[in-house]
Structure 1
Amino acid sequence: MEIGQLSQALDEIFDGAVVHHGYTDYMRDYEVIVYVTADPRTGQPPAHLRYLFTHCVVAEVRTALSPDTWRRSLDGRLTDPEVGPDLDGFVWAVRWQPLYPGATVVPESERARSWADKVGIPFHEVRFELNAHAIALVFNDLEVTEVGEGYAPFTVAKDD
């Protein structure tokens, strides 16, 4: 994928809601599920988009919350959608994060270049800034698909 295409794909989810991120169940690719909406006048229905970062060699996730916010957010009840909103602290129970200020391509990333030299395929680096997490990914390509509401990223093996 060209840098311009990658930047455009990231611009399309600006200010969306990240509802899931993590490695796929086969642990090679990293996915970010974003709920996007448009002005109702456009006629565009809301959608859940799966951004699949293939051959992901680096996935760094760190908190974007201050130590003070963390201190106030340790109560397990903040993960409960019924109780959490009534407490003081970061309400984990909302189960989504705004993609703001957004996702950006790291131009001329040294990490991407180093991986490309070692593996022999192109790599890119992107950074996501969310209200609770900051994510950095180094990967080869991006696939964008629409997934249904309630998309479950992990397959659970059934006992026979």
Structure 2
Amino acid sequence: MTEAFVLPHRIRLSLWQRAFMAATFTVTLLLAVSVTAMAPGASKVFGAAMGVASAVMLHRSLRMALVIDAAGITSRTMEWTHRASWCEILSVELADAGSVGGLSTALAVKTSKGQPHKARRLVLRALAGYSTRGTAARLEKLKTRFEATLADHRAGCATCGRPSDLP
């Protein structure tokens, strides 16, 4: 039997990815502060806007992760946060992460809000990695742990544990 996640569980980006993004947005923030401090007139507005955007992106990059808890999953990426409850998740699969600049793979969950015929696919981009053997093995292991956690939830849930709702 595959081991399910111990809830709550947080899967973060690798250290080098977080360090690279933090360094990039920190340098941009420092540039924005220097432009705002030294530039005349309208350049101060540009520097302030660049500084606010850099601070927001720095904050978001440090929070990028996949959070798994008793309520479901929360996928935090640079752009947005998606949530799906365990009862909404129909299946877990490997998917193309749609990354610019290279082939990348991530896990995806098919979800529905009580309507299995209107399922949507949520790609967990916080887990994305370039398509290598190591990434594929890591994602397969995570997939089996997701499926075990989903099975544990369904076994104990009065709402979604009915056989007619299972895929």
TM above 0.5: no
Q: TM-score range by the shorter chain?
A: under 0.3
TM-score normalised to structure 2 length: 0.25
Which of the two has higher C-alpha Rg? 2
Structure (1/2) with the larger strand percentage: 1
TM-score using structure 1 length: 0.26
